């Protein structure tokens, strides 16, 4: 029997977005099935995978709802469909997770406790470890570094040494795994699908902070990340670097008032890194993406009340 929602036990929905890699998605969903917080609902959004991959997930994880998108709607577009579905069905908080993550059973409970203690925290961030090095921190939230100007993740090179064990407010967060409050989403709008992927996280972080919502780091909530199974981040994949340049250019246009983060100094720093690191395979697609992002039309972020323009099919209700 489902635990009823109450002010002290708000209903949390977990939305997992996946594209192919069914074995990775299944690991994620199995870990969510062990979460000890209630009421807690899990929804898998299949982002245009091959149908055989979607069916494999459904057969292996019968306890979660499934929405299927066709075609692939990008990261923001895919998550937005799941977020709207969760809000329509009563979610007070919505967790979004990349499919290449696994969680500890108590992580949602720790996030909710922090949310209730800090009601103006619109985004709540767990401590995220490398899956392949489970004691090494991949991200404990993100901060702005003034020079060279870039948003950088707080992390450790070796085992967790306790330096990131204190809860705190953050400047930014990666959306690998994060929990949103309903109040924040209804105020700021959803993730911006003008970005196919990358920078949608920094975009929403800025909008949330400008609307008066905080980003709260919750170190007792633990997650493990298998690192970019889908996007090809850090690889010679030209699609990744093209989208990196395009998204960065769009972000610059939308947030030109934040010149310390989006201006030519930042762009020059990124290009200099390509040269210094000998990344010839990434430089050209990055610059092509930058030029495309300078031309592409811009749109306001979608609101929670708007009907989704992305085609979705409910394969299994939750």
Percentage of the chain modeled with pLDDT above 70? 92
CA–CA distance, 158 with 199 (Å, rounded to integer): 27
User: What are the residues facing 224 on neighbouring strands?
Assistant: 102, 129
CA distance 303 to 2: 29
Q: What is the pLDDT of residue 198?
A: 87
Q: Are 113 and 179 in contact (CB under 8 A)?
A: no
Query: Residue 234's pLDDT is what?
Result: 56
pLDDT for the residue 283: 85
Model confidence, pTM: 0.92
Q: What is the pLDDT of residue 139?
A: 97
110 φ, ψ (degrees, to nearest 5): -65, -40
Question: Pairing between strand 93-98 and 150-153?
Answer: unpaired
pLDDT band at 53 (very low <50, low <70, confident <90, very high): very high
pLDDT at 1 over 80: no
pLDDT of residue 267: 72
Picking from 94-103, 180-189, 235-244, which range would have the lowest pLDDT averaged per residue? 235-244
- The predicted structure's pLDDT at residue 100: 96
Is 178:96 a contact under the CB 8 Å cutoff? yes
Is residue 188 over pLDDT 70?
yes
Average pLDDT value for the chain = 90
What pLDDT was estimated at residue 240? Answer: 87
Over residues 25-30, the mean pLDDT reads 98
123-132, 137-146, 302-311: the lowest-pLDDT one: 302-311
Asked if pLDDT for residue 159 goes beyond 80, the answer is yes
pLDDT-based confidence at 229, cuts 50/70/90? very low
Any residues with CB less than 8 A from the CB of 68 and at least 6 apart, and which?
Answer: 45, 46, 54, 312, 313, 315
| Residue range(s) occupied by CATH 3.90.550.60 in the chain | 12-231
Q: Out of 3.90.1170.50, 3.40.47.10, 3.90.550.60, 1.10.10.410, which CATH number does the structure's domain 12-231 have?
A: 3.90.550.60
Q: Provide mean pLDDT across the span 216-231.
A: 84
């Amino acid at each position: 029997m489902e635990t009823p929602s109450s002010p002290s036990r708000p209903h949390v929905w977990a939305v997992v977005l996946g594209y192919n890699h069914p074995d990775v998605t299944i690991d994620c969903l199995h870990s969510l099935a062990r979460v000890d917080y209630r009421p807690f609902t899990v929804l898998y959004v299949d982002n245009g995978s091959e149908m055989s991959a979607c069916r494999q997930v459904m057969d292996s994880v019968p306890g979660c709802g499934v929405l299927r998108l066709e075609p692939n709607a990008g990261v923001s577009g895919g998550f937005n469909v799941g977020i709207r579905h969760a809000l329509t069905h009563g979610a007070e908080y919505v967790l979004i997770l990349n499919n290449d993550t696994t969680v500890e059973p108590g992580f949602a409970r720790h996030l909710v406790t922090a949310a209730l203690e800090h009601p103006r925290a619109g985004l709540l961030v767990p401590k995220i470890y490398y899956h392949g090095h489970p004691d090494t921190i991949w991200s404990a939230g993100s901060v702005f570094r003034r020079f060279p100007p870039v948003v950088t993740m707080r992390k450790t090179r070796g085992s967790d040494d306790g330096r990131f064990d204190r809860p705190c407010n953050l400047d930014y967060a990666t959306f690998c795994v994060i929990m949103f409050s309903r109040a924040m989403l209804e105020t700021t709008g959803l993730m911006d699908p003008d970005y196919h992927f990358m920078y949608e996280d920094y975009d929403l972080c800025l909008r949330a902070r400008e609307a008066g919502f905080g980003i709260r780091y919750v170190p007792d909530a633990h997650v493990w990340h298998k690192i970019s199974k889908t996007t090809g981040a850090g690889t010679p994949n030209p699609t990744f670097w093209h989208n990196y340049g395009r998204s960065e250019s769009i972000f610059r246009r939308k947030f030109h008032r934040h010149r310390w983060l989006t201006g030519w100094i930042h762009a020059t720093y990124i290009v200099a890194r390509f040269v210094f690191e000998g990344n010839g395979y990434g430089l050209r697609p990055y610059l092509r993406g930058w030029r495309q992002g300078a031309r592409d039309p811009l749109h306001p972020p979608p609101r929670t009340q708007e009907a989704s323009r992305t085609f979705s099919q409910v394969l299994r209700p939750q």
